[in-house]
A and B are shown apart, each in its own frame.
Chain A
Amino acid sequence: MMAPDQSLKKHVADLIKPDRVHRDIYTDPDIFDLEMDTLFSRAWMYVGHVSQIPNKGDYITTRLGPQDVIIMRDNDGEVNIFHNRCPHRGPHLCGNSRGNTKRIVCPYHAWSFTLKGKFFGMPFPEEYPQECLKSEFDLTRVEDVEIYRGFIFARLKPGGVDLMTYLGEARSGFDDIIDRSPEGEIEIIPGAIGHRYRANWKMMFENLNDILHPMGAHASAATAINSVSNPAKLHPVTKSLVGSSKMMPVLPKLQSKITRYGHSYATGLISVINQEIPKGDHYHALEKAYGAARAEEILKTDRHLMLIYPSSNVNGAQCTIRVVRPLSVNETEVWGYAFRLKGAPEEVTRNSVFYCNIATSGFSPVVADDLEIYERAQQVHERGMTDWVNVARGYRQEADAGRNAPPPATSEEYIRNQYRVWLEFLTGDAPCQA
């Protein structure tokens, strides 16, 4: 990709207004390339969990911004991330999504590399100048790799704030999963559930903290679920998925929490409706490990859908993470992962898996209407049926009250915040400096 020219950056700056955004940000392939080169290369991205590579030589492959990468556990137990391509003629080194190996061997000419990414061997090495063999033929490492309580984050281009500064309060989304384990440990459930939609990746980030959208988009799923002949037989997680129009009056009492680098979540539901937490096996396991007060505090933690901008979102209560993978300006994949909480009853794992499936599968009646809406909006933007997209809900009130007042969860301030950060990454020379 050519370096983005300054005129594109200047153009991008004109596309974000305080209360609206221009359709080009969803449809222009040049802007998508610029997003890959800036936002997705310079932000800390969630890329996986250590339980996916528990043993020496275990690896998974994934994408980090525009690069395909290998996440490898080496013989010292360290986690390394390499670009998934041979430094010789370029093809991908690993073609599987996961595996275990003693060495990384290129399928083309059998060049081989250690688990630390160092050049190890090739046929006819004497035909290369000695100095090349020393360093030029090592795999390209991703230097910025940090692991927070088992969650692996990486940043393709070095520079900028450290992971803890980048996450800020959003790190609590990850704490919220681990804290629910009576042993303080989790492991990923094998298999990931994926859906795909024909629209821009940002649609999902705009949708997930939108606590008003279930009223419209999920009304059919709610009606259908609430009208089955034997509701007692429904999985207990089912009803929590679709909300209810009875919730309308309490929604403005919920709060939206927004962080410096674009992360956000909605909170307050449990306290506003004064919901009692169930004192079942999970509570008792936590009580035994941490005491009654802490057990109650853990289970009452209420951070609904923590958006980790721009890589993923976390549902702490359901112990799931969904990773967003932009494929092109109008194609997006989303991958859902569920976790087993060590020491918690199996029922908690089953709930997590059930939730992850139904909140991520393209066959889910809850997900289908979200994806339909994204694709309709994309069509309208691509065909230029309107130039500007409105993100003004709550804007006037907040402008009057000043930026420091926490917005209600009904506000679209979390979207406006995402675009302030987006603009900083896309147009700034040194984004992400504290």
Chain B
Amino acid sequence: MSGLKSRIEDFLTHEAALLDDKRFDEWLELYDEDAHYWAPVLPDAAERGECMAHFDEERSFMEARIQRLRLPNAYSEHPPSRTCRLISNIQVMGEDEDGSVQVRANLVVHEFRLRVTGEPTRALYAGAVRYTLRPQGDAFRIHAKRIDLIDSEGAFYLSSIPL
């Protein structure tokens, strides 16, 4: 078995590829049943459910989010957005008693949408991601993914693809 950091890097690279390739069902499978996926507005946000957030979701809502992307009447995805993302600067911050691993990484996502209804749109999202990963065999399941966008206190145009 290769080292922990190397396995984490493989796992997070795999997650990024699944999202860029729109393999959303497989992406959701990376998440625990009780997973939490969120992007708070305030950098010092501590508690879920108490803070303003760009998204603050449990697995069932993540499922709704990706199901919508497949529907013919998800008009904000006509035509579908494309993304290219880098996940890098990976650091293992700690390991919990139950075997969970705390990971910090930097994420940059470039999003593009060709629109016949107007000018093509491009967006750039960047921020720190904090994962809680639970080991499962050689890989992991994501228990928590928190994204602190550097512009989290700004206003965002519509965006449909998960970060």
Contacts and interface: CB of A to CB of B under 8 A. Distances in A.
Interface of A: 97, 189-198, 216-217, 219-221, 223-225, 227-231, 233-235, 238, 333-336, 338, 349-350, 353-354, 356-357, 361-365, 367-369, 371-373, 375-376, 378-379
Contacts of B163: 363
A261 to B, nearest CB: 27
A371 B51 contact: no
Given A220-B71, A223-B68, A228-B67, A353 B52 contact: yes
B54 A361 contact: yes
A225 B64 contact: yes
Interface string B39-54: 1111001000111111
Given A193-B52, A350-B50, A353-B50, A231 B60 contact: yes
B64 A197 contact: no
B154 A194 contact: yes
B67 A224 contact: yes
B21 interface: no
Interface size class of B (residues with CB under 8 A): 35 or more
A192 B65 contact: no
B64 A333 contact: no
A372 B55 CA distance: 19
B54 to A, nearest CB: 5
B158 A371 contact: yes
B118 A233 contact: no
B45 A191 contact: yes
Given A194-B156, A224-B64, 14 more contacts: A191-B40, A191-B42, A192-B52, A195-B156, A196-B155, A234-B61, A234-B64, A235-B61, A338-B52, A353-B51, A363-B156, A368-B160, A369-B74, A376-B117
B155 A357 contact: no
* Leading 4 A-B pairs by shortest Cβ distance: A194-B155, A224-B68, A191-B52, A362-B156
A106 B64 CA distance: 50
Given A220-B74, A233-B59, A376 B158 contact: no
Contacts of B49: 350, 353-354
24 contacts: A189-B51, A191-B42, A221-B68, A224-B64, A224-B68, A225-B64, A227-B64, A227-B67, A230-B60, A231-B60, A353-B50, A353-B52, A357-B53, A357-B55, A357-B56, A363-B39, A363-B55, A363-B160, A365-B64, A365-B74, A368-B159, A368-B160, A372-B75, A373-B75
A196 B59 CA distance: 27
Contact of B156 (A224, A361, A365): A361
Contacts of A220: 68, 71, 73-75
Contacts of B41: 191-193
